Amino acid sequence: MTTCWDDERLYYPLHAVPYTPAHHLPGGKNDPAFCTKLQIGALLARAAKKAGVVFRAVVADCAYGDHNTFRAELFDARLPFVMALKRGHGTWQYKDAFRPVDAARELAWHGPEQSGDWQLVTRNFRDGRTATWWAADAQLGWWGPDGVIRLVVATTYPATLPETSTWYLATNLPRPGSPREQRSRHPAADLTEVVRLYGLRHWVEQSYKQVKDELGWADFQVRSDTAIRRHQTLVNCAFSFCWNTWFTPDPPPSAPVGPPPESGAPSGPAERGRTWVSAAPTGLLAPSHPGRPWLADALGHAATLLAGLDDEAPAPPSTPRTDQHRRHRQTPEPLHPGLTNHR
C-alpha cells in the first residue's frame, strides 16, 4: 500500500506500508497487528497530513470509494477527498436501490445547445490535447449539491452515459455559492476542479507501472516484513532521484585545468623525481565553503563521477580462443549465505 502525490507536472510516492494477510498473523483477523487495505490507506493519508504534505484532496478509485468506512475515516481526519463510485453502488444492499447511474439519468439533457443540468468541462492533457466532457451535480439520497457529500457525474455523452467514459464521484468539497461553503474547512471546488482532481489519479497508475516494472518494486517475494519495507523505501528513493535528475539542468562543459604535460615527458611514470598529476575535474570541486558538515550532492556531479569511473576502469581483455576457455575455466566459489538468504 502506498500514497502518491501528483499534479499536472510530476508525481512521486510518499509513504508505503506492506499489507500482511491475516493468515500470516497468530491471531488472524483478530490480531492487533492486522489492518485491512482500507485501514492502511486511511493511515497513510493521515501520515501525509502529519508530515506537512500540502495537497488539494485525497483521490481514490471505486475500490476505496465504494466503502462508507473509508470515507468516514477521511472525514474524521478532516481530509478533503474525491473518489469514484461504481455506477451500481448500493445494489448489494437493496434490490431496488437508487443507484448513481439512476441519479445521472434524472438530470436534464437536451443536447449540447440545451445542456440543461450539465456543464461543459474541458480536460487538458500534458501532451497538449484537450477533450470535451460534461459534468453535473446529482442527487442521491442525502448526497446532493448542498450536502456534506456531493455526487458529481462526469461523462463524454450525457445522453447515454458510456461506461468506459463516465465517472461517478463522491466528494466532500463544497459547491461554490452553496450554504455549506462558509462552514466548510475546505475551499470550494466547482465541477471543473472536481473533474481535474480525479483526472490526476491516472498518474498513480503510471507511477505504479514505472516503480514495479522498471525499478523492481514487485521483486520482494520470500522476504520478511522488515526487508519488504526496506526494499520499498529504496525503490521510492530511486524514483525520487529520477525526478531530481530529470529537472536538474545539465552542467556546462568545464574548461581543462592545469598545464598539459610536456611534449618530451615519458608516457609512463618516471623512475626518479616528481610525477606530474592532473588536476581534479572542476565538477568534483565544491563551488564554495559548505558552512557546516554535510554530505556532498552526488546527483549534481553524476556525469563527472561516472566519467571518472570509466577512465579508471581496466581495459577489457582480449577475447580468448575456445580451447583457452576449456583449459582455464574455473569453478566459481559459492556465495556467502548472507547474500542468498532473503530475510
**What does the domain layout of the chain look like in residue ranges?**
2-242
Crossing angle of helices 37-50 and 68-76, in 10° steps, is 20
Q: What pLDDT sits at residue 262?
A: 58
pLDDT, one tens digit for every residue, the chain (343 residues): 888 888 887 888 888 888 888 888 899 999 988 998 889 989 999 999 999 999 999 999 888 888 888 989 998 999 999 999 998 876 545 555 688 999 999 999 999 999 999 999 999 887 788 999 999 999 988 899 999 999 999 999 999 999 999 999 999 999 999 999 989 999 999 999 999 999 998 888 888 788 877 788 777 666 787 888 888 888 888 888 888 888 777 777 776 666 665 555 555 544 444 444 455 445 445 555 555 554 445 455 555 444 544 444 445 445 545 444 444 445 555 545 544 444 4
- CATH number (3.40.1350, 1.10.760, 3.40.50, 3.90.350) of 2-242 reads 3.90.350
Rounded CA-CA distance 79/74 in Å is 5
Q: What pLDDT sits at residue 340?
A: 44
- Residue 243: name the closest of 277, 211, 284 by CA: 211
Beta strands in 109-238 (DSSP E): 119-124, 130-138, 150-155, 166-171
If DSSP codes are grouped into helix, strand and coil, which group holds residue 138?
Answer: strand
Q: Tell me the backbone φ, ψ of residue 293, rounded to 5 degrees.
A: -60, 135
Q: What pLDDT sits at residue 232?
A: 84
Model pTM? 0.69
If DSSP codes are grouped into helix, strand and coil, which group holds residue 321?
Answer: coil
Considering only CA atoms, give the Rg of the chain.
29
Q: Tell me the backbone φ, ψ of residue 76, rounded to 5 degrees.
A: -65, -30
Q: Tell me the backbone φ, ψ of residue 35, rounded to 5 degrees.
A: -135, 140
- Residue 284: name the closest of 245, 241, 254, 329 by CA: 254
- Residue 137: name the closest of 194, 89, 86 by CA: 194
| Amino acid present at 16 | A
Rounded CA-CA distance 103/158 in Å is 12
Rounded CA-CA distance 264/340 in Å is 54
Cα distances from 266 to residues 258, 269, 273, 275, 312, in angstroms, run: 18, 7, 13, 10, 20
Q: What pLDDT sits at residue 326?
A: 47
Q: What pLDDT sits at residue 121?
A: 95
Q: What pLDDT sits at residue 309?
A: 43
| Sign of the C-alpha dihedral computed for residues 168, 171, 173 and 176 taken in this order | positive
Q: What pLDDT sits at residue 199?
A: 92
Q: What pLDDT sits at residue 234?
A: 86
